[in-house]
Structure 1
């Protein structure tokens, strides 16, 4: 029974997820992108994963850097999610404007997040039009006083 790409995307939109921004720095520039496909993978060793679209400008620099930070956004960071999702904003300039600090792994991180998970690239796996990025966790910290930003059916929600 065939189905359209629109039907597939609409079905996937029914899965609520948290919102993350993955930040990185290659040898010349920092960058970042909004990612909703983030997931934990393993506790021992500590591994996480996310899916990275192959045709975006951040794909090759992020993988080449080998280091990245998963910033789990808090309920008041919807605008950051939109900025890092936009193809019209220079993410290097945005990171500089936000005055991002560098984490233990040397990658920039966003301030005021619900949590941050600093990683080094463990493995990359082909996933069709995406690359499945597996990161080994080097450091993690969270703020239990904050609430998450959620994404469901192409809209943001808070709990």
Structure 2
């Protein structure tokens, strides 16, 4: 099995992170699954480029590498996006998670996020994700120790989402 390493990421990694999301969108499109992120590459959409720039300059960003090649990414912050209600305790919130399917990079990044959260003396790690389609994304988080908390609908009622939490 390939060795996964996780390293800090920053503004210089914006092109790498956008390439990972472009790859993920292409894979989802090839599966006929466009509900999550649409059918256009993130690197061609100003709003998604701005989102990546924001989180890689203000959050704690990470890249998983396999044999020196980027295979996944996630960013941690101390709060969710504006569309999710904050909680009344310290938390770390996962943003911008994507990983190559079947590599183990996604699970490795989630384990790393849990350790980072724990090392800061924080016990709550949360994430939100697309909850439509076949439900595989929600199931992925559940397999990695997260529990469903609240469902929500975003983007004018067309994007079903799920907030999940994990105590670390």
TM-score when scaled to structure 1?
A: 0.31
Relative contact order (alpha carbons < 8 A, sep ≥ 6): 1 or 2 greater?
1
Judging by fraction of residues, say which structure has more strand: 1
